[in-house]
């Protein structure tokens, strides 16, 4: 094992007062004042002029190493000093804003580490993530291994949060295998158990979809899909208060595992598609789990296609009408990862590059540009997200649409470059949003 402890990390502060070294990452990027160019409906445009892939990879490596955290933990040792301390390592999404390990971020980070030839870090990232898994297979969306007590005040438990996030570890392991990395059998077994949790404990009996119990579990925190659910109109402050309140209505088992929420119980088509996709990835590359559940989940996703809105639509299953669930949002298109019905796929390919829907110069917009809620600078209200573009790129490659994949790859690289490796950005002009730099933007190194 390499010695990664090259950067000090303060684990004594409260989570909102972390004292961390500022990454010395020099970006020297061009101005993000480029204007949007029109993209034809079909076929997609030729890729724009490329930024240097070597330059992007160098910046990606620099950011990832600056955000890397490493240490040992005494958790689980008790009074038995003969039990070795647990080695942990993960990549902060951004040390100033997101100073912990986050579930789907870390899965993408593992893919980046593998692409950069850092197999040990890729494996340790996933091992540290899945070490938080409980007996049921539930994996929290935040891991506080570097300072376990920091989670107590907000989450009411030591070391981790009490909800989950899109489980991208099946895909992450598959990408490691594809790059020739030997993945320990134990890690594959853990990932299989974690994915099975959703099938066993979160499957909605009426739709067959996987249910989420909080907007944060979707990963799309402020999606227009949730408009109308809250008592207050959209606004970060009001919505934040209501989302915190929703944590208190989650129904849990005796071990605190979140199972349902009568105040927010959405059967999500896109989340289900990601579970099915990760099950398939893990099964096809490692054999650690069977494919039985994949076809069942895929059938449930296919049934959620809405011909009128030409997208997949979530189902609200707690009795509260939520018409905004049909809002055309980009993450709904992740359903192509398990529903490649030809007629639907052609519609989605058109929509991805149509400037009247999702098409834009620096990656697909997060919300349809023709929808009244669209805000190109808004957090989950229309901005471009690197991990979504990456997953759609992967889906296009998987289905043999290489020209579309090449355009998405080029848009991702351009967006990352022009935004300064931002968390998300305006799809029309690459104006940066959120944290800068954000580690998952290093996915630009993995698209070819």
The DSSP H or E segment spanning 274 is helix 269-286
Backbone angles phi, psi at 155, to 5 degrees: -95, -15
Whether cis (ω within 30° of 0) applies to the bond prior to 437 is yes
Q: With both helix axes pointing from N to C terminus, report the angle between 185-201 and 292-302 in degrees, rounded to the nearest 10.
A: 40
Residues in the chain: 448
Average pLDDT over residues 212-217: 96
Widest pairwise Cα distance in the chain: 66
pLDDT number for residue 190: 97
**Residue 373 DSSP one-character state:** T
Instruction: Using the predicted structure, report yes or no on whether residue 1 has a pLDDT greater than 80.
Output: no
* Backbone Cα Rg of the chain: 21
Alpha helices in 179-235 (DSSP H): 185-201, 215-218
Which pair of tokens denotes residue 282?
A: 């893990």
Give residues with Cβ within 8 angstroms of 54, minimum separation 6: none
Instruction: Using the predicted structure, report yes or no on whether residue 76 has a pLDDT greater than 80.
Output: no
Least confident of 12-16, 45-49, 273-277, 328-332: 12-16
Give residues with Cβ within 8 angstroms of 325, minimum separation 6: 225, 266, 313, 314, 315, 316
Q: How far apart are CA 223 and CA 352, in angstroms?
A: 18
Q: Note the Cα 285 to chain centre separation in Å.
A: 21
Least confident of 8-12, 144-148, 161-165: 8-12
Average pLDDT over residues 256-285: 95
Instruction: Using the predicted structure, report yes or no on whether residue 412 has a pLDDT greater than 90.
Output: yes
Q: Is 301 left (phi over 0), alpha (psi -120 to 50) or beta?
A: alpha
CATH classification number, 40-445, choose in 1.50.10.10, 1.10.760.10, 3.40.50.150, 1.20.1270.360: 1.50.10.10
Give residues with Cβ within 8 angstroms of 126, minimum separation 6: 106, 107, 110, 169, 172, 173, 176, 187, 191
Q: Contact 357/42 with Cβ under 8 angstroms?
A: no
**pLDDT band for position 123 (cuts 50, 70, 90):** very high
pLDDT number for residue 319: 60
How many C-beta neighbours within 10 Å does residue 55 have?
Answer: 11
Instruction: Using the predicted structure, report yes or no on whether residue 321 has a pLDDT greater than 80.
Output: no
Average pLDDT over residues 327-345: 96
Q: Is the dihedral of CA 370, 372, 377, 381 positive or negative?
A: negative
pLDDT number for residue 230: 77
Which pair of tokens denotes residue 39?
A: 């993209």
- Please, what is the Cα angle at 197 between 162 and 151, to 5 degrees? 15
Three-class SS of residue 291? coil
Model confidence pLDDT, tens digit, residues 276-287: 999 999 999 999
């Amino acid at each position: 094992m390499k010695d990664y402890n090259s950067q000090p990390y303060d684990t004594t502060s409260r989570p909102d007062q972390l004292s961390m070294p500022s990454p010395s990452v020099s970006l020297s990027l061009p101005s993000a004042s480029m204007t949007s160019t029109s993209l034809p409906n079909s076929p997609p445009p030729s890729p724009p002029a490329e930024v240097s892939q070597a330059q992007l990879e160098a910046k990606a490596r620099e950011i990832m190493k600056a955000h890397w955290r490493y240490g040992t933990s005494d958790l689980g040792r008790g009074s038995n000093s003969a039990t070795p301390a647990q080695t942990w390592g993960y990549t902060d999404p951004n040390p100033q804003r997101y100073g912990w390990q986050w579930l789907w971020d870390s899965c993408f980070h593992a893919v980046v580490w593998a692409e950069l030839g850092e197999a040990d870090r890729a494996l340790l990232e996933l091992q540290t993530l899945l070490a938080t898994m409980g007996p049921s297979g539930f994996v929290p969306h935040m891991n506080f291994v570097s300072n376990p007590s920091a989670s107590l005040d907000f989450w009411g438990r030591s070391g981790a949060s009490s909800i989950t996030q899109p489980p991208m570890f099946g895909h992450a392991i598959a990408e490691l295998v594809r790059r020739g990395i030997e993945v320990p059998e134990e890690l594959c077994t853990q990932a299989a158990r974690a994915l099975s949790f959703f099938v066993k404990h979160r499957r909605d009996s009426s739709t067959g979809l996987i249910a989420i119990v909080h907007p944060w579990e979707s990963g799309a925190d402020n999606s227009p899909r949730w408009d109308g659910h809250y008592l207050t109109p959209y606004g970060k402050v009001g919505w934040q208060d209501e989302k915190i309140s929703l944590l208190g209505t989650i129904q849990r088992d005796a071990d605190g595992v979140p199972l349902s929420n009568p105040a927010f119980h959405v059967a999500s088509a896109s989340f289900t598609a990601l579970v099915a996709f990760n099950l398939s990835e893990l099964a096809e590359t490692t054999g650690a789990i069977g494919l039985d559940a994949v076809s069942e989940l895929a059938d449930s996703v296919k049934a959620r296609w809405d011909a009128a809105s030409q997208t997949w639509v979530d189902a609200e299953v707690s009795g509260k009408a939520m018409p905004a669930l049909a809002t055309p949002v980009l993450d709904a298109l992740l359903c192509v990862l398990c529903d490649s019905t030809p007629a639907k796929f052609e519609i989605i390919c058109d929509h991805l590059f149509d400037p009247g829907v999702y098409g834009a110069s620096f990656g697909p917009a997060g919300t349809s540009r023709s929808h009244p809620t669209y805000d190109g600078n808004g957090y989950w209200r229309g901005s471009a997200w690197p991990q979504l573009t990456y997953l759609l790129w992967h889906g296009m490659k998987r289905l043999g649409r290489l020209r579309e994949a090449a355009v998405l790859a080029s848009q991702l690289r351009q967006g990352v470059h022009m935004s300064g490796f931002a968390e998300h950005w305006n799809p029309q002009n690459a104006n940066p949003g959120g944290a800068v730099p954000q580690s998952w933007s290093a996915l630009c190194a993995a698209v070819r």
